[in-house]
Structure 1
Amino acid sequence: MASGLYGLILLATVCSSYKIVLFAPDISNSQVGWNKRVSESLARAGHDVTVVLVQTIEGADKDISFGSEVKITVQNKKFMKWLTDEKFDIGFAHMYHTCPIALIHAAKIPTWIWLLSGAIDINHHCTQLNRMQMSNGFYTDAEDVAYP
C-alpha cells in the first residue's frame, strides 16, 4: 500500500501538473464528500482538476439497461465536444459507475484511474466483476478525513 502512495508522491514531484477530470457520482453525500476530498488533494498538489457530477439514474430499483444510458450520454454532442476539447490528461471514474469509463475512451483521454472508495472486500468484489486487477490505492491526507 505504501508503494502506491510513494508512487503518487513521486509522480506529483516529477510532473508540473496534469489536467484531470473526476467523474463523481451523486449517489450519497459520503461519496460526493469523498470525491471532493480526492479532488482537493490533487488540486493542492498543483493539478488542474475539474469535477463532473454524475447524476444517478432515477428508479434504480427497477431493471434497467446501462448500455442505453451510456449511449444517450455519448450522443450528447455539446457535452462530448466540451469533454474532448478540454484535452484532459487523466480521467478518474468511480467504482459505482462504469459509464465514465466509456466517456473517457470516447473523449480520447489517454489515462484513467478507477477510484475505489469502499472497504477492501467491496473493492475486491468490484474488481473481480470487471475483470480488473486491484492495485494500491490513493489515500487523502489525514487532514482531509478529519471531520469537524
Structure 2
Amino acid sequence: MLLLSVSFVLLAVRCDGYKFLIYSPQIGHSHVAFFGQIADALVDAGHDAIMIGTAGNIKPHCDMQLADKKLMDKLREERFDVGITETFNMCGYAIFHKIGIRTHISAFATNLVDVLSHPFGVANNPSYVPGITFTVFSLVSFSHTVYFSYGKVHSMREE
C-alpha cells in the first residue's frame, strides 16, 4: 500500500502543467478572442495561463509596462515556462526577455503576412493566398493577381 501511495504522489508531481504567459495586443476584438481561445484551450488541457496586454496606443503602453518594476517583478516571480504573443507586436517578446522566459510561441490572429512567411519556409503565393487586407467577400481581378505576383517576385529577388 505504501508503494502504491508513493507511486501516486510521484505520478501526480510529474503531471503538473506548464505555466503560460499570453501577451495579447488589444488591437481588435478578433485578436483578443483569438488569444482568449488559446488561453481557454491551455487551461482545459491542465496548464496555467495568464493573459496580459496593451490598452490604447501600443508603444507608450508597452514602454510603461516595461518600466513598471512591480509588474516585471510579479511576472518574474510567477516563473512562466512559455510565452505566447502576436508576431507583429514586439512588446510581448521584450517582456518575455526581461522576465526570463526563454521559450516563446509566435501566434497570428490573421493570415501569415508575406514578410514573415518566407523565413519560415511557408508558401504564401499571392495568386492563391489572399492578402491580409482582403475580406472574405473581396473579388480579386486578374490584374490584381498579376500585380501581387509581380510584387512577390520582386521582393524575393531583393533577398
Q: Same fold (TM over 0.5)?
A: yes
Amino acid at match of 1:77: K
Q: CA RMSD in A?
A: 2.5
Matched residue, 1:28: 28
Report sequence identity in percent.
Answer: 24
Aligned length: 109
Structure 2 unaligned runs (5+)?
1-13, 123-159
In structure 1, C-alpha distance between the alignment counterparts of 2:121 and 2:41, rounded to whole Å:
22
Segments of structure 1 that go 5 or more residues without pairing to the other structure are 1-13, 59-65, 136-148
Q: TM-score, normalised by structure 1?
A: 0.63
Counterpart of 1:133? 120
Greater Rg by CA: 2
Q: Which has the higher contact order (CA 8 A, sep 6+)?
A: 1
Q: Is contact 2:24–2:53 with CA below 8 Å preserved after alignment? A: yes
- Conservation of the 8 A alpha-carbon contact between 1:70 and 1:99: yes
The answer as to 2:110 corresponding to 1:118 is yes
- 1:108 is aligned to 100
Residues 116 and 81 of structure 1, relative CA distance in 2, 3 Å threshold: same
Q: TM-score, normalised by structure 2?
A: 0.59
Letter in 1 for 2:107: L
Q: Which runs of 4+ in 1 moved over 6 A?
A: none
More helix by share: 2
Q: Deviations over 1:83-108 (max 9, x none)?
A: 11111011111123111101101100
